[in-house]
Amino acid sequence: MNFVAPDVNYYSMLPFITVLLTAVFATILPFYVSRKAIAGLSAVGLLVALAASIGLWNTNLSSFYGAYRSDNFALGFGIVLIVGALIAVISSVDVAKRGGTMQAEFFAILLYAVSGTMLLASAHDLIVLLIGFEVMSLGVYVLSSFQETAKSEEAGMKYFLLGGFASAILIFGIALVFGATGKFGLEAINTAVLSPEFKNSSIAAVGALFILIGFGFKVAMAPFHQWTPDVYTGAPTVVTQFMSVAVKAAAFAGFLHIFGLALQNVSGWQTPLQFLIALTLMIGNLAALRQSNLKRMLAYSSVAHAGYVGLAVLASPSQGFSSALYYLGIYTLMNAGAFAVLNVLSKDDDGLEIESLAGLGSSKPLLAATLTFFLLSLAGIPPLGGFIGKYLIFSAAASSGYYGLVILAALTSAVSLAYYLRPIGLMYFRPRVTVLPDFSGRSTRVLLVVCAAGVLILGLVPNAVYGLLELVKK
């Protein structure tokens, strides 16, 4: 028997390994250095991973016989995830100022979670994908109960219990798909489904439905979104920021991969997914209308955005992949930016009442202006990035023939304008009533300006990035 060395290409995993190594150091070093140094180390590690991802662009390396691939899809999502994590790291620096304790372990766990998200985005094999999914989830369960308050612990517990349940359903779905096709590789599953001897289409369809539920939970699609408002509100704001962008983006990467590559020729999941999207769009937007707390409002708005990106899963992979990636990239900048503003303005992790924003335009011009940018972009007002993202998603879904859903998405995003405009109106058009704290350090202010500039540039010259995204198409 010959020994065959496993196909391991370390170059292809460079960004992933960098993040993982940084996480290991961030676990050991807190015994010796200050918390701030760990934050710096994490930021540097993430920046190196970012550079590595950019360096690997277009190389299409793979490892483990194609189970792990650094194709442009994975790298693009990797960049989005790293940026989301970077924003969280920078935002966490301000938390100490308001007396909140972000222990150094925070960074280690955050980085482990990031490595999980990156694995999820790079996986071309259901088992690798599941490992990434679980590493990410475990990290985020811990993070959401990180503050020693009853609310935060409740959030963590709720997320863990429901998340565990969702994972179980996902694993069951994977098992069924494996049972039906005998394969774990995403392309191999599709080949098996297309082969003339394929007889287990009903088992595969049931498996697809279970996987749909598992991912529907992770990306917060109605009716599996029930945990979102409570967990997002209860978790520390920085963690919510990370969850609402990076976890969502990574889960969508897996979602797109499974349904776009492996199960695209399995029938039976498309109609339920349409119902999920329609429900998500309506519930997310209508519930956000009724919120008085900004943190909760943003939580529901992120449910609504899961509905928009969900349209890309329905679209054909050639358009859906790139438009979802573009949308999630912009979404990361604008949503994490909005959470960063919320984070520095609130005195604890309960967020703040929207009414208390009144008069912020004159008292904190920078914070108000950047928040205005993020909210307008979330609402999809041109020429900001959110509009181009929405356009690409709508266009991808429309070209696959889902006109009804696109019209619904357009109408609900008109509704969303009402709750996105309200804070802006309060900030600029009302006199100040409450004095809000301002914990923003210089790094956060720079971060906010960079995010706002990114939102504007991605809207004005989308081709600078979208041109690259063309390469994501399969």
Partner 1 sequence: MIHLIIFIPLLFALIGLFLRGQARASISIFAALASFALTAVVWIAKIDTVYRTPWIPGAGIFYSVTFDGPSLLLALVATLMTSITLIYFSNRKDSQQAEGMYPLALAMLTGLLGIFAARDLILFYVFFEATLVPSLFMLGLYGRKNRVRALTKMALYTIFGGLLMLVSIIATKLYSNSPSFDFLELFGRTSQLDLETQTWLFLGFVAAFAVKLPLFPLHNWLPDFHAENHSSGVADVMGTLYKVGGYGLFRFALPLFPAAAQNLQWVFMFLAAFTALYGAWIAFSSKDFKRLLAYAGLSHMGLVALGMFSLNPIGMAGALFLLAFQGVYSSALFLIVGMLEERLNKDVQNEKTTSQALEIGHVRGLAASAPAFAGVALVLWFASIGVPGLAGFIGEFSVFLGAYQANPWATALAVSTVIASAAFALTAYQRTWLEETTTTIPELNARDWFVLVPILAVTVFFGVFSGSALKLLEPSVQAVAGLLGGK
CA 277 – CA 304 distance, rounded (Å): 9
CA 122 – CA 73 distance, rounded (Å): 8
Query: 346 vs 372, which CB is nearer to partner 1?
Result: 372
What residue has token string 């992770």? 218
Q: Closest distance between partner 1 and the C-beta of residue 410, in Å?
A: 4
What is the binding site for partner 1 (CB under 8 A)? 322, 376, 381-383, 387-388, 391-392, 394-395, 398-399, 403, 406-407, 410-411, 413-414, 417-418, 421, 425, 428-429, 462-463, 466-467, 469-470
Q: Closest distance between partner 1 and the C-beta of residue 351, in Å?
A: 23
Q: Closest distance between partner 1 and the C-beta of residue 321, in Å?
A: 13
Report in angstroms the alpha-carbon separations of 279 from 97, 284, 304, 412: 40, 8, 9, 11
- Find the DSSP H helices in 145-226: 150-181, 186-194, 201-218
Query: 24 vs 410, which CB is nearer to partner 1?
Result: 410
* Cβ atoms of 468 and 321 closer than 8 Å: no
Backbone angles phi, psi at 33, to 5 degrees: -120, 175
Question: Which candidate, 463, 199, 471, 238, places its Cα nearest to that of 340?
Answer: 238
* Cβ atoms of 241 and 94 closer than 8 Å: no
Q: Closest distance between partner 1 and the C-beta of residue 115, in Å?
A: 31
- Assigned token pair, 431: 């006199």
Which value, to the nearest 10 degrees, does the dihedral of the CA atoms of residues 417, 423, 428, 433 take?
150
- Assigned token pair, 155: 């959030």
Element (H, E) at 467: helix 463-469
Q: Closest distance between partner 1 and the C-beta of residue 302, in Å?
A: 20
R_g of the chain computed on alpha carbons: 21
Query: 351 vs 462, which CB is nearer to partner 1?
Result: 462
Q: Closest distance between partner 1 and the C-beta of residue 168, in Å?
A: 39
Query: 288 vs 376, which CB is nearer to partner 1?
Result: 376
Q: Closest distance between partner 1 and the C-beta of residue 319, in Å?
A: 9
Query: 146 vs 466, which CB is nearer to partner 1?
Result: 466
Query: 89 vs 281, which CB is nearer to partner 1?
Result: 281
CA 232 – CA 249 distance, rounded (Å): 16
Query: 151 vs 432, which CB is nearer to partner 1?
Result: 432
Q: Closest distance between partner 1 and the C-beta of residue 90, in Å?
A: 27
Query: 322 vs 332, which CB is nearer to partner 1?
Result: 322
